[in-house]
């Protein structure tokens, strides 16, 4: 079984858009995040994107468009010498009651089963309380809230009562440094 680094997409790898990322032309990459994923020190971890895309459930974009955006992002990451081992997308709206929409852990649990991941040695990195909650609900080793994307705003909101300890980092490169420094325990 492999440890994983679970990454939210919007606000971690690409910029968030208040009106949703509706097509590839609206994608603005965080170049430093993509470069950070190319570290050879990550070779012992699976890299997995877990993303809520409620624009699909709201009828704003099609599932095919959401998947195309993810596919193009993965190709771009790979073209930059980095890798992604899996992408898991929740297409549901916030009121649909699915098991896969973060803060529920369904995306992480599905990835763990399909990719033979050891959640107790894995990390979740996101820019929202829901990312932290999903990681903690799945039983990952650690969760990190980035200040990129919505992260700084999330930190100014009340902390949900069910959230345990988590780390705060400026961006993905800083978060990966912390994980890799902790890698000696993995």
Q: Which residues pair with 86 in a beta bridge?
A: 48
Active-site pick, 10, 127, 131, 171: 10
162 is catalytic: no
127 is catalytic: no
Measure CA 84 to chain center.
11
Q: What is the 3-state secondary structure (H, E, C) of the chain?
A: CECEEEECCECCCECCCCCCCCCHHHCCECHHHHHHCCCHHHHHCEEEEEEECHHHHCCCCCHHHHHHHHHHHHHHHHHCCCCCCEEEEECCCCCCCCCCCCCCCHHHHHHHHHHCECHHHCEEEECCHHHHHHHHHHCCCEEEEECCCCHHHHHHCCCCCCCCCCEEECCHHHHHHHHHHHHHHC
Active-site pick, 8, 127, 131, 171: 8
Catalytic residues: 8, 10
């Amino acid at each position: 079984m492999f440890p994983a680094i679970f990454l939210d997409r919007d606000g971690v790898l690409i910029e968030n858009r208040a009106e949703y990322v509706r097509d590839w032309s609206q994608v603005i990459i965080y170049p430093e995040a993509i470069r950070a994923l190319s570290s050879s020190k990550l070779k012992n971890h699976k890299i997995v994107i877990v993303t809520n895309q409620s624009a699909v459930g709201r009828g704003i974009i099609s599932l095919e468009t959401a998947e195309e955006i993810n596919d193009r992002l993965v190709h771009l990451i790979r073209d930059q010498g980095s890798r992604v081992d899996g992408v898991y997308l929740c297409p549901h709206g916030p009121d649909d009651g699915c098991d896969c929409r973060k803060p529920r852990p369904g995306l992480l649990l599905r990835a763990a089963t399909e990719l033979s991941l050891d959640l107790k040695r894995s990390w979740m990195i996101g820019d929202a309380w829901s990312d932290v909650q999903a990681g903690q609900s799945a039983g990952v080793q650690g969760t990190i809230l980035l200040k990129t994307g919505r992260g700084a705003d999330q930190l100014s909101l009340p902390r949900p009562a069910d959230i345990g300890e988590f780390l705060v980092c400026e961006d993905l490169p800083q978060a990966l440094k912390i994980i890799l420094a902790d890698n000696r325990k993995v």
